[in-house]
């Protein structure tokens, strides 16, 4: 089964994947794929150097499958790490309000002062309900693995 | 409420400066993760699935509007616009950057808050009844004693590295709203035959993988001995508690293995040996702390509020809210209002920055500047005049905060589960949402009546599933989520650990299974006055098993 290397970024804890060029990316789709266990273990050794260099914490090997729509993590836990919570977690107070203006674009994007040491790509874990549904739908990575 | 003195202020400020330095050293590489992990945990910073999580202590669940507004500010400025209130009356932020945590702690220090001892094997946030100082059935406000315990236990050198974490709860009314019997120590305020107020002492309760109900080891402890007795219990635990096995390290295991009678003898001996030490609480010190919690000066009101009665007669929604979410205050003409953080289909315990600000405004205008966090993951406005209730209701409703479901089937306790938590084995929140959607807040939920459903996403039981009338435990079975049901648990003074129904249910099956349990109750109850727990206690597990599994 193909594998990728994942970790959490030290400065902000965000889930990242080891990419082909040696940097870390927020999207699973940009992860470097390791075909065998031996290759993944070699990749993990490299990742552990980045942990020593204080770029990331707790790098691990993650099993994935690849199909027409791209890479998917095999376990539910890793699928959730890859896509973010499966729930509609961003607040939409306005949606509840009686007679209030229509829901506005959520402005809750993290405006961290953290000095990030890696390029900050579009956050794959932003609010995409449809993507979340995929996790719970029958064609989810977890189901596929059964 | 308690206000920091110079000592507290300097202590918290020093701790923020210390952590700022530790974070800088971690980011620069001077500290590695192994060295840094215990330091960040001592400041409430966990690493979860997607990001860091910061758990902030809310001592005994009491907040001022200024503090709640600060939490709203932090949610917006450093997080994604919301926070999650927990079953230990704390708040967690799910997305803070590590590099921002020192600034967040600095913001918190400005409003006399911190994240100290919200993790680690130390004495955690001391919790109390969310209706403390307001409830009509209260013997005495438990918060001064929780505050005394907090001060004594903060950075206590002897108890900073216990075998395992240690949780204390104090309850002030006959009705246990603080779940004291599932705490390491539960203090129940009681009055003895001489009319003296003190504590009944429970020890060795806890949930997690080995749920056990605490044992009463003392009927009456004088107030002056609160610290000496707590110290005696902790000494015995610190010496004898197991350090060889994390899963057997809580005091409940020690009490269970040695027996409550043996522990009682040991604690009493330790207590007798050290009773005259510096730990005896002087009455003037008790009075000094109690003064911080002096009841607010509530203007006298008529017992019957015309505005309240009139609105109730004309507005069914308001009448239902009043019946479900408002309980008697000890001052005539006032009520205690629970603000449900369980909108139908919503995420239990989550509150947006806007919601927090709305509630802070209401507390300032209508609740003597006080807000409480309930361990059921709701907020409380403890001192609302019935005359003001229509306006409070309207303003809550305007923000989607007037769900009239306190204590009903949709008032579900749920841990963050696998959507956030690194320990979880299954998701909790989506199950809570689906159950909530299934039952809704209409006639069906009212017909069912009082029913507590608690959901945990793993065996560690943060969602208190063992003590839910219906408990749901999420597990992983062959790569899929599976949910085990327990029935008959309760966290109050009739504390009981629920019994497992049988085989677990898949994610697709679980909501239907809960519905089967509820329908079985409705069918078999002896009238609508018999709530779920009473019916279960009368008829037992069999009818529910039969309904769930048939002839399987």
Whether A125 has a pLDDT exceeding 70, the answer reads no
**Nearest-neighbour CA in chain B from A52: distance (Å):** 7
CA–CA separation, A111 vs B351, rounded Å?
Answer: 19
Q: What pLDDT digit, counting tens, does each position of A59-92 carry? A: 999 999 998 989 999 999 999 999 999 999 998 6
Q: Chain A residue closest to B427 (CA)?
A: A86
Closest partner residue to B80 (CB to CB) among A11, A90, A114 is A90
| H-run or E-run covering B275 | none
CA–CA separation, B362 vs B57, rounded Å?
Answer: 22
CA nearest B334: which of B391, B393, B389, B294?
A: B389
Within 10 angstroms of residue A75's Cβ, the number of other Cβ atoms is 16
How far lies B296's CA from each of B1, B301, B395, B529, B541, in Å?
A: 10, 14, 23, 36, 47
Would you state the structure tokens that stand for residue B370, as one six-digit string?
């006080």
CA–CA separation, A141 vs A82, rounded Å?
Answer: 12
Mutate to test the interface with A, among B24, B31, B46, B80 (most CBs of A within 10 A): B80
Residues of B in contact with A80 (CB under 8 A): 49, 418-419, 427
Q: Chain A residue closest to B422 (CA)?
A: A77
- Tokens 């013997």 belong to B139
Residues of A in contact with B480 (CB under 8 A): 76, 142, 146
Within 10 angstroms of residue B209's Cβ, the number of other Cβ atoms is 12
Are B55 and B115 spatial neighbours (Cβ–Cβ below 8 Å)?
yes
CA–CA separation, B497 vs B214, rounded Å?
Answer: 11
**Tell me, what's the pLDDT at B551?**
67
Q: Residue A85 and residue B52: Cβ atoms within 8 Å?
A: no
**Nearest-neighbour CA in chain A from B471: distance (Å):** 21
Q: Chain A residue closest to B351 (CA)?
A: A91
Q: Chain A residue closest to B100 (CA)?
A: A114
**Nearest-neighbour CA in chain A from B515: distance (Å):** 21
The pTM score is 0.91
**Tell me, what's the pLDDT at B274?**
87
Q: Residue A93 and residue B354: Cβ atoms within 8 Å?
A: yes
**Tell me, what's the pLDDT at A91?**
83
Residue B470: strand pairing partners: B453, B487
Residues of A in contact with B49 (CB under 8 A): 15, 77, 80-81
**Tell me, what's the pLDDT at B278?**
85
Whether A30 has a pLDDT exceeding 90, the answer reads yes
CA–CA separation, A19 vs B235, rounded Å?
Answer: 52
**Tell me, what's the pLDDT at B1?**
87
Mutate to test the interface with A, among B20, B40, B51 (most CBs of A within 10 A): B51
CA nearest B393: which of B332, B447, B321, B492?
A: B321
Q: Chain A residue closest to B49 (CA)?
A: A81
Residue B146: Cβ-neighbour burial (10 angstroms; 0-12, 13-18, 19+): buried
Whether A116 has a pLDDT exceeding 50, the answer reads no
CA nearest B88: which of B116, B127, B119?
A: B127
Q: Residue B99 and residue A114: Cβ atoms within 8 Å?
A: yes
Q: Residue A89 and residue B80: Cβ atoms within 8 Å?
A: yes
Residues of B in contact with A58 (CB under 8 A): 33, 47
Output b/e per residue, A112-131; b: 16+ Cβ within 10 A. bebeeebeeeeebbebeeee
Q: Chain B residue closest to A9 (CA)?
A: B51
Q: Which residues contact A26 (CB under 8 A, 6 or more apart)?
A: A14, A15, A16, A17, A120, A121, A122, A123, A124, A125
Residues of B in contact with A134 (CB under 8 A): none
Q: How many helical (H) and strand (E) elements, i.e. helices and strands, does chain A have?
A: 5, 5
Q: Chain A residue closest to B347 (CA)?
A: A89
- Cβ-Cβ pairs closer than 8 A, A with B, add up to 135
CA–CA separation, B546 vs B552, rounded Å?
Answer: 9
Residues of A in contact with B52 (CB under 8 A): 12-13
- Tokens 């309930």 belong to B374
Q: Locate the DSSP E strands across B280-378.
A: 326-328, 334-339, 350-352, 371-373
Mean pLDDT along residues A112-140: 35
**Nearest-neighbour CA in chain A from B421: distance (Å):** 10
Q: Residue A146 and residue B81: Cβ atoms within 8 Å?
A: no
Q: Chain A residue closest to B400 (CA)?
A: A96
**Nearest-neighbour CA in chain A from B105: distance (Å):** 14
Would you state the structure tokens that stand for residue B345, as one six-digit string?
């289909």
Q: Residue A108 and residue B79: Cβ atoms within 8 Å?
A: yes
Q: Residue B430 and residue A114: Cβ atoms within 8 Å?
A: no
Closest partner residue to B419 (CB to CB) among A87, A92, A110 is A87
| H-run or E-run covering A54 | none
Q: pLDDT under 50 in chain B at which residues?
A: none
**Nearest-neighbour CA in chain B from A7: distance (Å):** 10
CA–CA separation, B1 vs B68, rounded Å?
Answer: 14
């Amino acid at each position: 089964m193909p594998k990728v290397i994942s970790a959490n970024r030290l400065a902000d804890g965000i889930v990242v994947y080891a990419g082909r060029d040696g940097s870390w990316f927020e999207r699973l789709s940009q992860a470097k794929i390791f075909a065998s266990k031996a290759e993944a273990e070699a990749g993990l050794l490299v990742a552990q150097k980045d942990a020593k260099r204080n770029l990331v914490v707790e790098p691990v090997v993650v099993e994935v499958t690849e199909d027409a729509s791209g890479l998917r993590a095999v376990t539910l836990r890793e699928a959730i790490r890859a896509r973010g919570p499966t729930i509609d977690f961003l607040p939409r107070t306005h949606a509840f309000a009686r007679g209030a203006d229509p829901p506005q674009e959520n402005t809750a994007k993290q405006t961290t002062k953290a000095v990030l040491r890696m390029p900050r790509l579009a956050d794959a874990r932003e609010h995409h309900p449809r993507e979340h549904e995929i996790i719970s739908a029958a064609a989810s990575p977890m189901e596929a693995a059964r | 409420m308690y206000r920091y003195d110079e000592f507290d202020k300097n202590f918290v400020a020093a701790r923020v400066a210390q952590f700022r330095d530790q974070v800088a050293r971690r980011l620069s590489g001077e500290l590695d993760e192994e060295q840094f992990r215990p330091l960040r945990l001592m400041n409430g910073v966990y690493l979860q699935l997607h990001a860091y999580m910061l758990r902030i202590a809310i001592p005994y669940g009491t907040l001022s509007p200024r503090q709640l507004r600060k939490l709203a500010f932090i949610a917006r400025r450093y997080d994604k616009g919301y926070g999650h209130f927990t079953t230990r009356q704390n708040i967690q932020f799910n997305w803070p950057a590590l590099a921002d945590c020192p600034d967040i702690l600095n913001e918190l220090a400005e409003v006399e808050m911190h994240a100290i001892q919200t993790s680690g094997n130390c004495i955690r946030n001391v919790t109390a009844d969310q209706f403390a100082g307001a409830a009509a059935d209260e013997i005495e406000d438990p918060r001064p004693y929780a505050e005394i315990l907090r001060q004594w236990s903060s950075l206590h050198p002897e108890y900073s590295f216990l075998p395992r974490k240690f949780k204390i709860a104090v309850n002030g009314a006959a009705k246990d709203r603080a779940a004291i019997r599932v705490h390491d120590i539960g203090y129940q305020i009681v009055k003895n035959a001489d009319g003296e107020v003190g504590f009944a002492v429970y020890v060795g309760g806890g949930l997690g993988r080995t749920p056990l109900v605490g044992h009463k080891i003392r009927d009456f402890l004088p107030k002056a001995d609160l610290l000496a007795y707590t110290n005696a219990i902790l000494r015995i635990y610190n010496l004898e508690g197991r350090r060889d096995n994390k899963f057997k390290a809580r005091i409940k295991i020690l009490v269970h293995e040695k027996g409550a009678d043996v522990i009682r003898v040991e604690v009493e001996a330790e207590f007798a040996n050290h009773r005259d030490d510096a730990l005896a609480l002087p009455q003037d010190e008790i009075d000094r702390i109690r003064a911080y919690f002096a009841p607010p000066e509530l203007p006298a009101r008529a017992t019957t509020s015309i505005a309240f009665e009139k609105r109730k007669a004309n507005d069914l929604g308001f009448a239902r809210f009043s019946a479900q979410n408002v309980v008697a205050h000890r001052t005539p003409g006032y009520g205690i209002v629970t603000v449900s953080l369980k909108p139908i289909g919503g995420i239990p315990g989550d509150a947006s920055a806007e919601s927090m600000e709305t509630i802070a405004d209401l507390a300032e205008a209508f609740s003597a500047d006080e807000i409480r966090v309930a361990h059921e993951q709701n907020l409380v406005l403890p001192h609302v005049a019935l005359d003001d209730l229509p306006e409070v209701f309207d303003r809550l409703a305007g923000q989607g905060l007037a769900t009239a479901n306190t204590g009903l089937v949709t008032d579900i306790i749920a841990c963050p589960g696998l959507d956030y938590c690194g320990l979880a084995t299954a998701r909790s929140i989506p199950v809570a949402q689906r159950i909530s959607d299934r039952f809704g807040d209409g006639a069906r939920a009212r017909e069912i009546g009082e029913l507590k459903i608690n959901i945990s996403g793993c065996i560690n039981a943060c969602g208190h599933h063992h003590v839910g009338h219906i408990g749901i435990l999420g597990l992983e079975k062959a790569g899929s989520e599976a949910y085990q049901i327990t029935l008959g648990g309760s966290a109050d003074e009739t504390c009981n650990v629920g019994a497992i129904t049988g085989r677990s249910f898949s994610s697709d099956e679980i909501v239907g299974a809960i519905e089967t349990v509820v329908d079985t109750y409705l069918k078999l109850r002896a009238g609508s006055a018999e709530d779920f727990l009473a019916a279960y206690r009368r008829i037992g597990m069999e009818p529910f098993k039969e309904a769930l599994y048939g002839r399987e």
